[in-house]
Amino acid sequence: MICNILASNGTVEKSAFLEFMQGFSTFAIPVILFVVLVLAIINKVKVYEVFVDGAKEGFNVAVRIIPYLVAILVAIGMFRASGAMGYLIKILSPVTSLIGMPAEALPVALMRPLSGSGTLGMVTELLKEHGPSSFIGRLTSTMFGSTETTFYVLAVYFGSVGIKRTRHAVAAGLIGDTAGLLAALFICHIVFG
> Least distance in Å: CB of 93 to other proteins?
17
Segment 29 to 48, residues that bind other proteins, using CB under 8 A: 29, 32-33, 35-37, 39-40, 42-43, 45, 47
Segment 88 to 117, residues that bind other proteins, using CB under 8 A: none
Residue number, 57 or 97, with CB nearest to other proteins: 57
* Phi, psi of 56, rounded to the nearest 5 degrees: -50, -35
29 burial level (CB within 10 Å; 0-12, 13-18, 19+): exposed
Residue choice 73, 89, 92, 110 for contact with other proteins (CB under 8 A): 73
# residues contacting other proteins (CB under 8 A)? 109
DSSP conformational letter for 103: T
In this structure, what is the dihedral angle of CA atoms 102, 108, 113, 117, given to the nearest 10 degrees? Answer: -170
Residue choice 26, 28, 34, 103 for contact with other proteins (CB under 8 A): 28
Give which of 189, 180, 177, 176 is closest to 3, Cα–Cα.
Answer: 189
Site string for other proteins, 124-163 (x = CB under 8 A): x--xx--xxx---xx--xxxxxxxxxx--xx-xxx-xxxx
Give which of 73, 105, 70 is closest to 192, Cα–Cα.
Answer: 105
Q: In Å, what is the CA distance from 66 to each residue of 114, 115, 159, 173?
A: 17, 17, 8, 21
Question: Is residue 74 involved in binding other proteins (CB under 8 A)?
Answer: yes
> Least distance in Å: CB of 98 to other proteins?
20
Residue choice 15, 16, 24, 111 for contact with other proteins (CB under 8 A): 24
Residue choice 70, 95, 99, 103 for contact with other proteins (CB under 8 A): 70
Helix, strand, or coil here: 1?
coil
Residue number, 55 or 98, with CB nearest to other proteins: 55
